[in-house]
Structure 1
Amino acid sequence: MEKAIINPWQWQYERSYVQAVEVKNANSTLYVSGQAAVHADGRSSNADMLTQLNLAIANLEEVISKAGYRCADIVRLTIYTTSAETLWPHFPVLQEWISRHGIQTAVTFMEVKTLFETLSVELEATAVR
């Protein structure tokens, strides 16, 4: 698989995302539903935003790995949160994770009115290999 990154500007590099990813010669695509702070037994977390973000990242990694993909295969990431103001101070955690795995992804960040039960952040991804 070959990926072409489309960035007409430079500012997005500081924020750990790209404007577009063109995938050429892809063999498989994985569409991952929103991963949130849900424990292995199915219980939703009611922890603080940072704890929920870390668990959502771990759950996303688990699903991607179980499917035989790598985090670097993520080409699209949608971040849903019930409070952009509360999530934003923790955004460097997400940026560090993106950088550590060499992820080059188109990102959408969206504040929503509510998520399931007590959840405050959810990560949805598309991975291609």
Structure 2
Amino acid sequence: MERNAVNPWPWSLQLGYNQAELIKGMSRQLICAGQTAVDGEGRPQHAGDMRQQIALALDNLEEVLKAADMNLGHVIRLGIYATDVDEALKNFDLLGQKFGPFNNAPPMTLLGVTRLAMPELMFEIEATAAVKR
């Protein structure tokens, strides 16, 4: 699979994402549902703590990817939903810590929402991943 970053402006790279990526030669794609800060039984965790919720949502995303024999390096797009965008942005270093080792800055969209599926949840991340086999 060939990935080429498309960045007509460099400002998004400072925030950890590409404006777009041109993907060629993909043979396997995974569409992930939104991952949140829930435990293995689907119970919300870390009520009121955005940083811990982001960390757990990212861990849960990694588990979904792993179950499909993929990792964060295979992610080609992110959709992020937060009940407090400013608080989420303060903790985006967690995304850098997770995606940085893979040298991956997938295109993303961050949306502020009034609430998520369960009132305790503050952050949700969905991903599309792809590999060449």
TM-score range, shorter chain: over 0.9
Question: What residue in structure 1 maps to residue 31 of structure 2?
Answer: 31
* Runs of 5+ unmatched residues, structure 1: none
Contact 2:72 2:98 in 1 (8 A): no
Partner residue, 2:108: 107
Aligned pairs, number: 129
Once residues 112 and 69 of structure 2 are traced to their aligned partners in structure 1, the CA distance between those partners, rounded to angstroms, is: 30
Which segments of 5 or more consecutive residues in structure 2 lack a partner in the other structure?
Answer: none
| Per-residue CA distance 1:16-72 (angstroms, 9 max, x = gap) | 100111110100110000000010121112251111000000000000011011211
RMSD: 1.1
Matched-pair contact (CA < 8 Å) for 1:15–1:95:
no
Write the mapping of 1:12-31 to structure 2, written as runs, cut at 5 A: 12-31=12-31
Shift of 1:96: 2.4
Partner of 1:80: 81
One-letter identity of the residue aligned with 2:11: W
TM-score normalised by L of structure 2: 0.92
| Identical counterparts, % of pairs | 34
Ranges of 4+ aligned residues in structure 1 off by more than 2 Å: none
Letter in 1 for 2:40: A
Greater displacement, 105-114 / 86-95? 86-95
